[in-house]
Chains A and B, each alone.
Chain A
């Protein structure tokens, strides 16, 4: 478990850094896929088997395809994706300072939290993280949020149809 944490954790951080460092959007998407797959491995290490599967199907399978699709739709030309100079004064410096400060703060808070080790595998309820346990939880306690999710997706369909549906461009 420790080995999985280190390998997948380093891959996740490297992927996230790759997204913001890459010069072309396609490279950003590839880095994001690395990040997402590493997170799926971490979910497996945390006994969230079903979520790891969903992470791969929805994120790596659907959302990333949508990103690649839009890149193919938009940036067929060769010119750079953004100007080198921002309009805001000192945006880069302030952003970097905020980021480093935030990282130090996050790690300090996490390290000082007295939470101890995770319970051993035997202490978990049987079937923890499986699709069956997930379905039971989703269809009993969280039935209302489950139905509301349908409306979120409905809103997405209607929004996109309104935005790009009948436009001739």
Chain B
């Protein structure tokens, strides 16, 4: 079974090698002559104001959490979908219960106003 993944392994190895060789070649070949104007964020044009790294608003966190929960749910759908035909109505009901429980959470977050954009 692992033989089927030989191609993936070769692909990974070649990819890693390519990145290393390209970066090394670039480092060896390029001229190195920095001066302050060149190191500015926008080499020509605007003068940057403030830091590049800013704090995000905490509201974004709710959205990433909802994403994670439904990502896990999607993963549960894969094995269910593969055996759906064998399981028949029972499998369908079971999965609807599962999804219904998670939708409850989504509705709760919605009603609490956690998903409102401000």
- Let me know if chains A and B touch directly in the complex, using CB atoms closer than 8 Å: yes
Interface residues of A (CB under 8 A from B): 1, 4, 44-45, 47, 49-50, 53-54, 57-58, 61-63, 65-66, 69-70, 72-74, 76, 121, 131-132, 134-136, 138-139, 143, 146-147, 149-151, 153-154, 156-158, 160-161, 164-167, 169
Known: A57-B75, A157-B109. A164 touches B61 (CB 8 A): yes
**B-side interface residues, number (CB < 8 Å):** 46
Measuring CB to CB, which residues of chain B are less than 8 angstroms from any residue of chain A?
1-2, 5, 51, 53-56, 58, 60-62, 64-69, 71-76, 78-83, 86-87, 91, 94, 97-98, 101-102, 104-106, 108-109, 112-114
How far does the alpha carbon of A62 sit from the alpha carbon of B82 in the complex, in Å? 23
Cα distance A5–B86 in the bound complex, in angstroms: 36
Task: For residue A118, give the distance in angstroms from its CB to the closest CB of chain B.
Answer: 13
> Of A58, A131, A161, which one neighbours B62 at CB under 8 angstroms?
A161
Q: Are A161 and B108 in contact (CB-based, < 8 A)?
A: yes
